[in-house]
């Protein structure tokens, strides 16, 4: 058991401690954050694979008082070290994927090029490996009665975690905060593209009974058709419609209550940071104008908890890195809030 008698939460963070300057070991922590340094299939800007390390550094500036769960940190929050082999694999396959993406952008025939066919095969096999790795890691943590948070990396990373959760929760919904639907099938030929995470989740995790998307403002014809043909399994709150309702004086309280009402009793939160206004995440992989404020998102999550629904886990993905460390700072603060809300939803 971690001795907190000499730990002062009001002092400056000790860089020799763990995430948020907390002195917990993995064994003593109730909530474990698993960093997933992966961004192989990103289709625009890279950098998110190194977000966990940057967020760790930025987290030392986060004050521990949280008015949603005062002293929640005492239950123990711990982040594992970044797996360097996984990061190296991501770096290698990312370069392969870049060559492939450049090739297909010129409307070349992949099947006629043995090298490109081999590259596509390697990337898809690497992504399948990543899914299994995440499944194994999170399943082990869940078996040890840990609450688990995933820190990406791009938005392809949580599929294995969703599969692990499905072994504990045979019926759960996803609350997705995102600028994109992520409902594409094999985007750019990549089976497990970051743009396909929700498509793959619905295809491969039967336990997911509902997908509720909030903040969407960039999507394709095929994704629109998939939403319309889902028989309300997918409920999408587009950014434009949300803004129009607000402009016409509809209170966010009413909108949030409607969003929550769509969700089943167990809820997984998948938070792509590009769901926010890009002033908060200018270096994310694919920024899109418009978007949500952080407090709008946290308000919805608080309403989820207040409704009696249970948050069973979350991922935070697509945090960019920059010289000014703004994105990492915002990411660290969102991560801390999500940790406290997860703890609050799962009282000891």
What is the structure's pLDDT at 185?
Answer: 95
How does residue 269 score in pLDDT terms, banded at 50, 70 and 90?
A: very high
Q: Is the pLDDT of residue 106 over 90?
A: no
Q: DSSP code of 292?
A: B
What does the pLDDT look like over 146-156, one tens digit per residue? Answer: 999 999 999 99
What is the structure's pLDDT at 173?
Answer: 98
CA distance 325 to 75: 28
How does residue 323 score in pLDDT terms, banded at 50, 70 and 90?
A: confident
Q: Is the pLDDT of residue 117 over 80?
A: yes
Radius of gyration in angstroms for the set of CA atoms belonging to the chain, rounded to a whole number? 20
Sign of the dihedral defined by the CA atoms of residues 239, 244, 247, 248, in that order: negative
pTM: 0.96
What does the pLDDT look like over 70-92, one tens digit per residue? Answer: 999 999 999 999 999 999 999 99
Distances (CA, A) of 257 to 19, 321, 344: 33, 34, 19
Are 45 and 285 a contacting pair, CB within 8 Å?
A: yes
Query: Which architecture, in CATH terms, is 21-345?
Result: 3-Layer(aba) Sandwich (3.40)
Secondary structure of 29-41 in HEC code, one letter for each residue? CCEEEEEECCCCC
How does residue 252 score in pLDDT terms, banded at 50, 70 and 90?
A: very high
What does the pLDDT look like over 222-246, one tens digit per residue? Answer: 999 999 999 999 999 999 999 999 9
Are 137 and 175 a contacting pair, CB within 8 Å?
A: no
């Amino acid at each position: 058991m971690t001795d907190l008698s000499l730990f002062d939460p009001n002092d400056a963070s000790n860089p020799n401690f763990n995430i948020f300057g907390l002195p917990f070991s993995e064994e003593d922590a109730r909530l474990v954050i698993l960093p997933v340094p992966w961004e192989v299939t990103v289709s625009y800007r890279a950098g998110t694979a190194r977000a966990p390390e940057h967020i760790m550094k930025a987290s030392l500036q986060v004050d521990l008082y949280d008015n949603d769960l005062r002293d929640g940190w005492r239950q123990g929050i711990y982040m594992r070290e970044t797996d360097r082999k996984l990061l190296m694999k991501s770096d290698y396959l990312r370069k392969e994927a870049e060559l492939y993406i450049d090739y297909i952008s010129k409307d070349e025939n992949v099947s006629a090029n043995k090298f490109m066919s081999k590259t596509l095969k390697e990337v898809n096999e690497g992504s399948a490996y990543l899914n299994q790795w995440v499944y194994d890691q999170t399943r082990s943590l869940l078996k040890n009665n840990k609450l688990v948070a995933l820190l990406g990396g791009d938005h392809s990373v949580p599929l294995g975690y969703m599969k692990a959760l499905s072994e504990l929760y045979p019926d759960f919904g996803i609350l997705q905060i995102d600028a994109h639907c992520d409902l594409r099938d094999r985007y750019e030929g990549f089976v497990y593209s970051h743009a396909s995470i929700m498509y793959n989740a619905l295809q491969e995790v039967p336990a997911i009974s509902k997908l509720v998307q909030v903040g969407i403002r960039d999507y394709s014809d095929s994704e629109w058709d998939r939403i319309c043909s889902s028989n309300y399994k997918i409920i999408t709150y587009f950014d434009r419609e949300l803004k129009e309702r607000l402009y016409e004086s509809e209170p966010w309280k009413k909108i949030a209550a409607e969003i929550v009402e769509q969700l089943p009793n167990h809820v997984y939160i998948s938070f792509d940071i590009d769901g926010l206004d890009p002033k908060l995440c200018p270096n994310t992989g694919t920024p899109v104008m418009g978007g949500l404020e952080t407090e709008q998102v946290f308000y919805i999550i608080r309403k989820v908890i207040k409704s009696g629904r249970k948050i069973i886990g979350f991922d935070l993905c697509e945090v960019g890195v920059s010289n000014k460390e703004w994105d990492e700072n915002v990411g660290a603060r969102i991560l801390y809030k999500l940790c406290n809300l997860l703890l609050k939803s799962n009282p000891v």
